[in-house]
Each structure stands twice: as structure tokens, then as C-alpha cells.
């Protein structure tokens, strides 16, 4: 389905969508400024296998302890491809994208920019498996870029300048292997909604590129690069087990 879910509010969870025991597929959908007390834009749970492609999450928010944009829980296997998360917000310790303990998640070609969580992670995993491929996590605010206890597979990703990234175990050990980097992605003009990357972006060097770049947006040779002036951050997380693929 191709839809826009905008300015919805739930007193509990699933401001825009709440589903269970299903295999929903969202293509080119936009989830904008949805609110909920626990999980903001979308919640999928109880044995579902959701797939989201080229979806955009922006301005979604929750109350403290909630998950602002997307939450999956209870034996869910979720796949997100070419999705963007921009300007989502949670005022407490909840993440921007959260998982329950018994869930699996694959992110492929996704971009997280300008999201904010006061004390939580941008992405909080459960205890099973999380795979990030060709994914960009940059200029977000939270205690961690990625956190959890899952078995993590990280390849061709760029985790750069995420404020307050001061976790216990650094993902920095994974950088430099299988195309993982912590470098300025040279976004063109993200504040104006332009998440394309310049042709000089280090994501262009990815050994397994998606659209020849790390992250969702295409390369534009004529783009004026957006250069980050803050000091380079450290990509970090809490993953006691690391897969041999990284």
C-alpha cells in the first residue's frame, strides 16, 4: 500500500498503525507527526513479518519511555529497506526504533538523521539478531547509536557524529571491517529534507554498495555537500556477542 499517515494519536500505542499476527507490507508510505504514549508511528507484534520499503518516518513522538517511530515486539521478523528516519523524538529513555527481546530485525539501505532521544538509543535491539547493511546513522542525539544484547551483523554502514554516544562497549572495533566506517557522509542539505549524498562521500567507496552508496539516498555529482563541523564521534553500542561477518 502507498499511504500517508499523518498527525494521528493513540493513548496507548500505534498512533498510525498497530497490527499483529500478519505480514503487512508498506511501500513508499509516509509516517508524519504521529503520537502515542508508548510506541509512536507504527507498532507490529505477535508473530508478524512486516516489510517496509522506501518509507519515511518524520516528526513522530512519544511520551517518556516510549518508542518514537517504530516498535516491533513478540516474535517478529521485520525487514526495512531504503527507509528514512528524520526528526523523530522521544522525551525519555525510549529509542527511535525499538525491539522486544524475541525479535529479529534487518535494516538495509536506511538512513537515520536528526532523531532525538534524551537517554535512549537511536536503535535498540532485543536479544536475537539484528542486521544493518548499507545503513547511515548520523547527527542523531541519544545515549547510543545502537544498543542491545542481540547478535549484530554490521556491514557497509556509516555511524558518524551521534551526540552523547558514550556506551559501554564500542562498536568502533567493527569499523574498518566489511566497509563499516565512521566518516562524514557528506549529506547535501538534510535540514531542508535533501538526504542525497555528494559523489565525494565516503559511502561511495562501499565494497557492496546499494545505489553505489551507504544509506538510502542517491549520489548526486552536482550536489553541494553538507559538511559536519563537529568532532568525529565514536560508533558505540552494547553488544556482548558479535558475528564473524564484521
Whether the CB-CB separation of 196 and 224 falls below 8 Å is answered with no
Q: Is 202 helix (H, G, I), strand (E, B) or coil?
A: helix
Whether 221 is covered by a domain: the verdict is: no
Classify residue 239: in a domain, yes or no.
no
Question: Residue 195 falls within a domain, yes or no?
Answer: no
Give the model's pLDDT for residue 211: 44
How many structural domains comprise the chain?
1
* Residue 106 in grid coordinates: 534487518
What local confidence, expressed as pLDDT, does residue 4 receive? 95
pLDDT of residue 236: 32
Any domain includes 47: yes
Say if 108 falls within a structural domain: yes
CB 5 within 8 A of CB 29: yes
The reply to whether 122 falls in a domain is yes
The domain containing residue 139 runs over which residues? Answer: 4-182
Reference 116, options 80, 83, 68; nearest CA is 68
In the block, cell 555529482 appears at 221
Instruction: Give average pLDDT by consecutive 10-residue segment, the chain, 246 residues.
Output: 88 87 93 88 87 95 84 90 94 84 90 86 84 90 76 85 50 68 87 85 61 56 41 32 34
d(CA 138, CA 233) in angstroms, rounded, equals 10
The reply to whether 90 falls in a domain is: yes
Query: Is residue 246, in this structure, part of any structural domain at all?
Result: no
Measured between alpha carbons, how far is residue 211 from residues 20, 78, 155, 159 in Å? 33, 22, 15, 18
Amino acid at each position: 500500500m502507498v499511504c500517508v499517515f499523518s498527525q494521528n494519536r493513540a493513548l496507548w500505542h500505534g498512533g498510525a498503525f498497530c497490527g499483529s499476527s500478519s505480514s503487512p507490507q508498506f511501500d513508499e508510505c509516509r509516517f508524519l507527526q504521529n503520537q502515542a504514549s508508548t510506541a509512536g508511528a507504527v507498532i507490529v507484534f505477535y508473530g508478524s513479518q512486516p516489510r517496509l520499503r522506501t518509507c519515511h518516518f518524520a516528526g513522530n513522538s512519544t511520551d517518556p519511555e516510549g518508542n518514537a517511530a517504530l516498535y516491533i515486539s513478540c516474535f517478529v521478523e521485520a525487514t526495512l529497506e531504503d527507509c528514512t528516519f528524520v526528526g523523530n523524538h522521544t522525551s525519555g529513555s525510549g529509542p527511535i526504533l525499538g525491539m522486544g527481546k524475541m525479535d529479529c530485525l534487518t535494516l538495509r539501505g536506511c538512513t537515520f538523521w536528526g532523531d532525538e532521544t534524551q537517554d535512549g538509543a537511536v536503535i535498540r535491539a532485543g536479544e536475537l539478531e539484528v542486521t544493518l547493511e548499507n545503513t547511515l546513522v548520523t547527527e542523531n542525539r541519544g545515549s547510543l547509536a545502537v544498543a542491545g544484547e542481540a547478535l549484530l551483523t554490521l556491514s557497509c554502514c556509516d555511524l558518524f557524529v551521534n551526540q552523547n554516544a558514550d556506551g559501554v562497549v564500542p562498536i568502533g572495533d567493527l569499523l574498518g571491517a566489511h566497509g563499516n566506517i565512521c566518516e562524514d557522509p557528506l549529506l547535501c542539505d538534510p535540514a531542508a529534507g535533501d538526504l542525497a549524498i555528494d559523489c565525494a562521500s565516503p559511502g561511495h567507496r562501499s565494497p557492496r554498495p546499494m545505489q553505489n552508496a551507504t544509506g538510502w539516498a542517491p549520489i548526486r555529482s552536482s550536489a553541494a555537500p553538507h559538511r559536519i563541523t563537529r568532532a568525529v564521534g565514536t560508533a558505540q553500542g552494547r553488544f556482548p556477542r558479535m558475528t564473524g561477518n564484521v
